[in-house]
Amino acid sequence: MKTISIIIIVKNGQEFIEKALKSAMWADEIIILDSGSTDKTLDIANKYTKNIHTSEKWPGFGKQRQDAQKLSSSNWIFMLDADEEISSSLQKSIKKVIKGEPKIYQVNRLSSAFGAEVKHSGWYPDWINRLYPNNLTTYNDALIHETLVIPQNHRPEKIHGVLRHETYKNMKDYYLKMSMYIDAWSSQNIDKKSGGMFIGVIRGFWAFFKMYILKLGFLDGQIGLTLAFLRYETTVMKYVDLKIKKKIIQ
């Protein structure tokens, strides 16, 4: 019989991890790789699995997912973020396809922000590679925006069901996540891109226009406008941070 591990990498996820864990209870094993939580994340996780591990240092998202996968003893891997939830329809689809041939499967993620589902703005549909055979592939080494490596002659297939994703509960939550994202992005691109306020503003305006107009963010109402403005702001700040880091190493 084919087995499946649901893997969650996390740090300080007490606000949302319980939903993720409850939605994963049907799996053969749930694996947690924690990177230094100081809240009640591990106490919550202990109620659902004893397969809990900690990492001494943060290697970036890609390598952290690689390390977590190495802890699995199952035939299949489903990589679940701590702020996500597997719907019942997606669970049924996963159970069905893992009985068949080894393939890479995409799931459709529906995200919410500040309490509202976002069905435009370039956020939905959002097909992501999350279900795959353990011995077939793993993630790349990227610090952020990590992706699953797709082997030659393997074309991912889509499966039915929604993966629910709760992004930001409030502005504090947003800025905490974005500060880490900006730091990781600028570190990853320090030898690849130019930084500074001017290029940040230009790219920020384009990011706003793309999200709000081209990706129909205006159809998401006030949430769409808020997200587009925040995208502009974050884009500016990541280029400013990149310029600062370049000056430090000179």
Polymer length of the chain: 250
**Which backbone phi and psi does 157 adopt, to 5 degrees?**
-115, 150
Question: Each residue of 152-175: pLDDT tens digit?
Answer: 999 999 999 999 999 999 999 999
Alpha-carbon Rg for the chain, nearest whole angstrom, is 19
Please give the average per-residue pLDDT across 45-61, as a whole number: 96
Kindly tell me the burial class for residue 34, based on how many C-beta atoms sit within 10 Å of its own C-beta (0-12, 13-18, 19 or more). Answer: buried
pLDDT, position 47: 98
Question: Each residue of 98-138: pLDDT tens digit?
Answer: 999 999 999 999 999 999 999 999 999 999 999 999 999 99
pLDDT at 248 over 90: no
Largest distance between two CA atoms of the chain: 58
Average pLDDT score over the chain:
96
CA distances from 79 to 10, 84, 153, 209 (A): 12, 10, 22, 32
Helices (H), the chain: 17-22, 41-45, 61-69, 88-97, 171-188, 197-209, 221-249
* pLDDT class of 36 with cuts at 50, 70, 90: very high
* pLDDT class of 176 with cuts at 50, 70, 90: very high
As beta bridge partners, residue 85 has: 164
* pLDDT class of 247 with cuts at 50, 70, 90: confident
The answer to whether 21 touches 41, Cβ cutoff 8 Å, is no
Here the tokens at position 48 are: 């659902």
Amino acid at 135: N
Which percentage of the chain shows pLDDT scores above 90? 97
pLDDT, position 194: 92
CA distances from 70 to 24, 41, 51, 65 (A): 19, 22, 13, 9
Q: Give the domains, in start order, of the chain with CATH numbers.
A: 4-167 (3.90.550.10), 170-249 (no CATH)
Kindly tell me the burial class for residue 152, based on how many C-beta atoms sit within 10 Å of its own C-beta (0-12, 13-18, 19 or more). Answer: exposed
H helix and E strand count, the chain: 7, 9
pLDDT, position 249: 73
Question: Each residue of 178-236: pLDDT tens digit?
Answer: 999 999 999 999 999 999 999 999 999 999 999 999 999 999 999 999 999 999 999 99
* pLDDT class of 150 with cuts at 50, 70, 90: very high
pLDDT, position 250: 63
